[in-house]
Amino acid sequence: MYLLMIDWWFILEKFLLVGFVVTFSLLIAMYTTYAERKIAAFLQDRRGPNRAGPFGILQPLADGGKLFFKEEIIPLASSKFLFVLGPSLAMLTAMLTSAVIPWSTPLQIGGRDVPLQIADLNIGILYVFGVVSLGVYGIMIGGWASNNKFSLLAAVRGASQMISYELSMGLALIALLMLTGSLQMSVIVQNQIVHGWHVIYQPLGFLIFFICALAECNRTPFDLPEAENELNFGYHQEYSSMKLGLYLFAEYVNMFISGTVMATLFFGGYDIPFVNEASWGLSPNLLAFIGFVVLLAKAFFFLFVFIWIRWTIPRFRYDQLMNLGWKKLIPLALVNMVATAIVMLLRNR
């Protein structure tokens, strides 16, 4: 009976944590659209959203309501099952990545430690890459099912782009894994708390990872799958209502999760630099809340940089994009990996 009670509490904790992470990620994605429009307006010397609520703060709710109540159109020549599956898969893969992120130190509830991590897998990094690679299918299926040549061409662009930049991203992470000796996300964070943030030891690896994250999220200057001057609207041209909303939300959820993953891998996760939080004498729950806020602050910084880059740097041509991925980033990642291996070998000797 006691074992059954423990299992019940474990399931309840994970269920509540999953609900919180999903809801919070959607909320962040919703208001990232507002932040993007406001930052773009500031950079272009205009006001941005300022009608719905004070300072336009209710604009995301108005946009979401509009998408919910717009007419839903499914083209007659499309494959209806795949047409619905595409945006659903894009949103699902965007949310699944958050399962292995350690959001903070454990909470203490009823004398039990409740970890703020949905699943502490010993292959956490491989899980992230596996889920990210599945995101290609959401784009490809949506473009194919639309039965539109522009959508299909944009989907092929997006798939080839994401596959190309995943190689550089993986090679950049191999050098980081040499430092930690583990694929487990919680171990990677603890290693940074003890030895210092990984960005200090792997600045080139972080730069490569950051550029690849821009490409994986289809953000400027890598937004070729949505190049409206070449492909009309891109791979989701035939979508309307909340099916289009799922594609748009998936992009912003991917941005948030990418920022959180970069903060976890290279910037200590929930760690505060040069500070020993345990010496503050605060309760474990308050320390967990502070760590969660610190991780969010780092993720929000990356969101700001993503938006800043979009409204500053022009879009690449497609040949430039592929040249950067195959002829520049992959050789740089290989050099960084070999150099890290040599340094680790000499240090161990």
The model's pLDDT over 140-161, given as tens digits with 9 standing for 90+, comes to: 998 889 888 888 888 888 888 8
What pLDDT score was predicted for residue 103?
A: 93
Digit-coded pLDDT (tens) for 166-224: 889 999 999 998 988 888 999 999 999 888 899 999 999 999 999 999 988 888 888 87
Digit-coded pLDDT (tens) for 230-266: 656 778 888 888 888 888 888 899 999 999 999 999 9
Sort 182 into a burial class: Cβ within 10 Å, 0-12 / 13-18 / 19+.
middle
Q: Which ranges of 123-224 would DSSP assign to H, the alpha helix?
A: 124-145, 149-180, 185-195, 198-201, 203-216
For residue 19, is it within any domain? no
Is residue 25 a contact partner of residue 256, using CB atoms and an 8 Å limit?
Answer: yes
Say what angle helices 330-348 and 149-180 make with each other, to 10 degrees: 10
Tell me the pLDDT band of 275, cut-offs 50, 70 and 90.
confident
For residue 59, is it within any domain? no
Tell me the pLDDT band of 1, cut-offs 50, 70 and 90.
very low
Measured CA to CA, the distance from residue 45 to residue 30 in angstroms comes to 23
Q: Residue 78 — left, alpha, or beta (φ > 0 → left; ψ -120 to 50 → alpha)? A: beta
Question: Which is nearest to 138 in space by CA: 25, 241, 239, 64?
Answer: 239
For residue 55, is it within any domain? no
Measured CA to CA, the distance from residue 292 to residue 271 in angstroms comes to 9
Measured CA to CA, the distance from residue 55 to residue 206 in angstroms comes to 36
Tell me the pLDDT band of 280, cut-offs 50, 70 and 90.
confident
For residue 251, is it within any domain? yes
Measured CA to CA, the distance from residue 219 to residue 311 in angstroms comes to 10
Say what angle helices 185-195 and 124-145 make with each other, to 10 degrees: 130
Is residue 184 a contact partner of residue 173, using CB atoms and an 8 Å limit?
Answer: no
Digit-coded pLDDT (tens) for 68-91: 888 888 888 888 889 989 899 988
Measured CA to CA, the distance from residue 40 to residue 48 in angstroms comes to 8
What pLDDT score was predicted for residue 119?
A: 87
Which structure tokens are listed for 34?
Answer: 């507002």
What pLDDT score was predicted for residue 305?
A: 94
Digit-coded pLDDT (tens) for 100-140: 999 998 888 877 888 888 888 888 888 998 888 888 888 89
Number of domains the chain contains: 1
Question: Which is nearest to 231 in space by CA: 212, 213, 218?
Answer: 218
Q: Which residues contact 236 (CB under 8 A, 6 or more apart)?
A: 87, 142, 151, 243, 244, 247
Question: Which is nearest to 119 in space by CA: 18, 269, 260, 19?
Answer: 18
Which structure tokens are listed for 218?
Answer: 């289809």
For residue 35, is it within any domain? no
Q: Residue 308 — left, alpha, or beta (φ > 0 → left; ψ -120 to 50 → alpha)? A: alpha
For residue 242, is it within any domain? yes
For residue 58, is it within any domain? no
Range(s) of the domain holding residue 130: 64-348
Average pLDDT over residues 287-309: 93
What pLDDT score was predicted for residue 227?
A: 64
Digit-coded pLDDT (tens) for 2-46: 444 556 777 888 888 999 998 998 899 899 999 999 999 998 889
For residue 28, is it within any domain? no
Measured CA to CA, the distance from residue 96 to residue 301 in angstroms comes to 22
Measured CA to CA, the distance from residue 113 to residue 210 in angstroms comes to 34
Which structure tokens are listed for 246?
Answer: 């799922």
Phi and psi at residue 221, to the nearest 5°:
-90, 20
Tell me the pLDDT band of 334, cut-offs 50, 70 and 90.
very high
